[in-house]
């Protein structure tokens, strides 16, 4: 029994050391820095959600047509501004890095999650 326990302990220690030291041993590299992009994407998704929420508020009778049109126009202008910033960010990151993600020009149709 004690032999088995010793073997398991040593094995566990070996696995832990190998797991933790792997990035240091193999010269681990990160991908492109996408934090700025992620931040802008979060802002874009938030804005899309706002547009869809306003649409749903209008359709369920919580917003008048005039109010909806005003709010929708404001939100779309803000969304375009974010999209411009996203494209500028992609351009500054270089073509190879920017080609992977996909900038959507308009909000998906109905999902608000």
Partner 1 sequence: MAVLGRSCLLLGLVVCAYGIGASLYGARTTQPQWVESARRSVYALALILTVAIAVLEIAFLRNDFVFNTVADTSSRTTPTFYRAAAVWASQEGSLLLWAWLLSLWSSLVLFLTRRRLREVVPYAIAILLGFGSFFISLMVFYANPFQTTTPAPAEGVGLDPLLRFPTMMIHPPMLYSGYTLCMIPLAFGIGALIARRVDAEWIRVIRRFSLAAWLFLGIGILLGARWSYSELGWGGYWGWDPVENASLMPWLTGTAFLHSLMIQEKRGMLKVWNVSLVLATGTLAIMGTFLVRSGILSSIHAFGGATLGVPFVCLIGALIGGSIYLVVSRREMLRSEHRLDSLFSRESFFMANNLVLVALCFVIFWGTYFPLISEALTGQEASVGPPWFDRYTVPLALVLVLLSGIGPVIAWRRATFANARRNFVVPIGAALVTLTALLAVGITQKPLAITMFCCAAFALASVGQEFFRGVRARRAMTHDAPPIALLALVRRNRRRYGGYVVHMGMAVLFIGVAASSSFRHQTELGLSPGQSAKVGPYTIRYVRPTAHVVNDPAHTGSTLNLGAVLNVTKGSRHVATLHPSQGYYDSSDPTQGSVGHLIGGQAVSHISMSAGVTRDIWSAIEPDISAPPLQKIINAANKTIPLVRPDEGLLALAYMAGAYLRHPPPAQFNFIDSPLVMWIWIGGLIVLAGGLIVLWPAPSTVRGRVRALARVGLARRLARA
Comparison of 64 and 87: residue with beta carbon closer to partner 1: 64
Round to whole Å and give the CA distance between 14 and 76.
Answer: 55
DSSP 79-98: HHHHHHHHHHHHHHH-HHHH
- Phi, psi (deg, nearest 5) at residue 112: -115, 5
**Within its chain, how far is the Cα of 72 from the centroid?**
24
Q: Which residues bind partner 1 (CB under 8 A)?
A: 1-2, 5, 8-9, 12-13, 15-16, 19-24, 27-31, 33-35, 38-39, 42-43, 45-46, 49-50, 53-54, 56-57, 59-64, 67, 71, 108, 110-113
Q: Return all residues near 63 (Cβ < 8 A) that are at least 6 apart.
A: 54, 57, 71
Comparison of 95 and 113: residue with beta carbon closer to partner 1: 113
Comparison of 24 and 95: residue with beta carbon closer to partner 1: 24
For the chain, the C-alpha Rg in angstroms (whole number) is 24
CB of 91 to partner 1, least distance (A): 21
CB of 68 to partner 1, least distance (A): 9
CB of 110 to partner 1, least distance (A): 5
């Amino acid at each position: 029994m004690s032999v088995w326990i010793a073997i398991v302990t040593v094995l566990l220690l070996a696995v832990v050391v190998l797991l933790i030291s792997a990035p240091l041993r193999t010269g681990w590299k990160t991908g492109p820095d996408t934090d700025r992009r992620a931040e802008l994407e979060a802002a874009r998704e938030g804005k899309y959600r706002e547009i869809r929420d306003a649409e749903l508020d209008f359709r369920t009778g919580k917003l008048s047509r005039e109010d909806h049109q005003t709010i929708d126009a404001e939100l779309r202008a803000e969304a375009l501004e974010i999209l411009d910033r996203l494209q500028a960010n992609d351009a500054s990151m270089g073509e190879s890095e920017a080609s992977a993600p996909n900038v959507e020009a308009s909000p998906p149709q109905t999902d608000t999650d």
